[in-house]
Chains A and B, each alone.
Chain A
Amino acid sequence: MQIELLEISEHFHRFPPFDALPQETLEAIARRVEVSYFKAGSEILEAGAVIHDLHYVRSGAVEIYRRSGELYNRLVEGDIFGQAGLLRSNKVRFPARALEDSLIYFIPADVFAQLCERYDSFADFVEAEGHSRLKSAVEAQGRASELIQLKARALISRDLVWVTPKTSVHEAARLMSQESVSCIVVLEPAGQNPEKMLGIVTDRDLRTRVVAANRTGDTAIGEVMSTDLVVIQDDDSLFEAMLCMLRGNIHHLPVVHKGRTLGLINLSDIIRHESQSSLYLVNSISNQTSVDGLRSRHRDLRGTYIRMVRNGATAHMIGSAISGIGRAFTQRLLELAERELGPPPVPYCFMVLGSMARDEQLLVTDQDNALVLDDRFDPAQHDEYFRKLATFVSDGLAQCGYSYCKGGIMATNVQWRQPLRVWRDYFSQWIEKPNAATLLNSYIFFDLDGVYGQLDMVDALKALCAERSRVTPAFLAAMARNALNRTPPLGFFRTFVMETDGRQKQIINLKGRGTGPLTDLIRIHALACGTTAQNSFDRLEAISTTQLVQPEAIEHLRYALEFLSMVRIRHQANAIEQGHKPDNYIEPERFSTTERHNLKEAFQVLSNAQKFLRFRYPGHARPTR
Chain B
Amino acid sequence: MNHPQTPKGQETLDWAARFKLLAQQARHPLLQRFYQAGVISAQTPLEQVELLAMDLETTGLDALTDSIVSIGLLPFTLKRIRCGEALYWVIKPSQLSHESVTFHRITHADVRHAPRLPDVMKKVLETMEGKIMVVHYRAIERNFLDQALRHHFGEGLHFPVIDTMQLEARQVCGDRGWLYRLFRRSPASIRLADSRVRYHLPPYHAHHALTDALATAELLQAQIATHYSPSIAIRQLWD
Contact = CB atoms under 8 A, between A and B. Distances in A.
B84 A6 contact: no
A33 B83 contact: yes
Nearest to A59: B202
Contact of A38 (B82, B208, B225): B225
A598 B225 CA distance: 35
B214 interface: yes
Contacts of B202: 58-59, 103
Contacts of A3: 83, 86-88, 210
Nearest to A34: B80
A1 B88 CA distance: 8
A56 to B, nearest CB: 12
Contacts of B86: 3, 5, 31
Interface of chain B, main secondary structure: mixed
B200 A59 contact: yes
Given A39-B226, A100-B200, A32 B83 contact: yes
B79 interface: yes
The 10 lowest CB-CB distance pairs between A and B, nearest first, are A37-B221, A35-B81, A101-B200, A39-B225, A59-B202, A34-B80, A33-B83, A37-B222, A32-B84, A3-B86
B217 interface: yes
A6 B200 CA distance: 20
A324 B74 CA distance: 66
A36 B81 contact: yes
B184 to A, nearest CB: 30
A43 interface: no
B210 A4 contact: yes
B218 interface: yes
Nearest to A111: B84
Interface string B190-233: 00000000011110110010110010011001100110000000
A5 B82 contact: no
Given A4-B210, A7-B204, A7-B211, A36 B83 contact: no
Contacts of A30: 83
Interface in B22-40: none
A36 B222 CA distance: 9
Contacts of B218: 35, 37, 103
Given A5-B211, A39-B225, A34 B201 contact: no
Interface residues of B, number: 26
Interface in A9-56: 30-39, 42
Interface of chain A, main secondary structure: mixed
Contacts of B199: 37, 101
A34 B222 contact: no
A37 B83 contact: no
19 contacts: A3-B86, A3-B87, A5-B83, A6-B208, A6-B211, A8-B83, A31-B83, A31-B86, A34-B80, A34-B81, A35-B83, A35-B218, A36-B81, A36-B221, A37-B222, A42-B225, A100-B200, A103-B201, A108-B84
Contacts of B88: 1, 3-4
Given A35-B214, A37-B199, A38-B225, 16 more contacts: A3-B83, A3-B88, A5-B214, A6-B208, A33-B83, A34-B84, A35-B76, A35-B217, A36-B80, A36-B221, A37-B221, A42-B225, A58-B202, A59-B201, A59-B202, A103-B202
A477 B221 CA distance: 56
A207 B189 CA distance: 93
A60 interface: yes
A37 B211 CA distance: 16
A141 B205 CA distance: 38
A122 B95 CA distance: 47
A106 interface: yes
B80 A35 contact: yes
Given A4-B210, A8-B83, A37 B204 contact: no
A34 B75 CA distance: 10
A108 B199 CA distance: 26
Given A34-B80, A36-B80, A37-B222, A5 B201 contact: no
B227 to A, nearest CB: 10
Interface of B: 76, 79-84, 86-88, 199-202, 204-205, 208, 210-211, 214, 217-218, 221-222, 225-226
Contacts of B84: 31-34, 108
Nearest to A53: B80
Interface of A: 1, 3-8, 30-39, 42, 58-60, 100-103, 106, 108
A1 B123 CA distance: 13
A36 to B, nearest CB: 6
Contacts of A38: 225
B222 A101 contact: yes
A38 B79 CA distance: 9
Contacts of B210: 3-5
Contacts of B222: 37, 39, 101
A99 B87 CA distance: 33
A34 B83 CA distance: 6
A108 to B, nearest CB: 8
B199 to A, nearest CB: 6
A119 to B, nearest CB: 21
A34 B80 CA distance: 6
Contacts of B221: 36-37
Contacts of B214: 5, 7, 35
Nearest to A39: B225
Nearest to A11: B202
A53 B231 CA distance: 25
B107 to A, nearest CB: 15
B201 A7 contact: no
A143 to B, nearest CB: 37
A1 B200 CA distance: 32
Nearest to B202: A59
Nearest to B86: A3
Nearest to A38: B225
Contacts of A59: 200-202
Contacts of A7: 204-205, 211, 214
Contacts of B208: 6
A144 to B, nearest CB: 38
Contact of A36 (B79, B87, B226): B79
Nearest to B205: A7
B83 A60 contact: no
Contacts of A42: 225
A37 B201 contact: yes
A33 B76 CA distance: 12
Nearest to A10: B205
Contacts of B211: 5-7
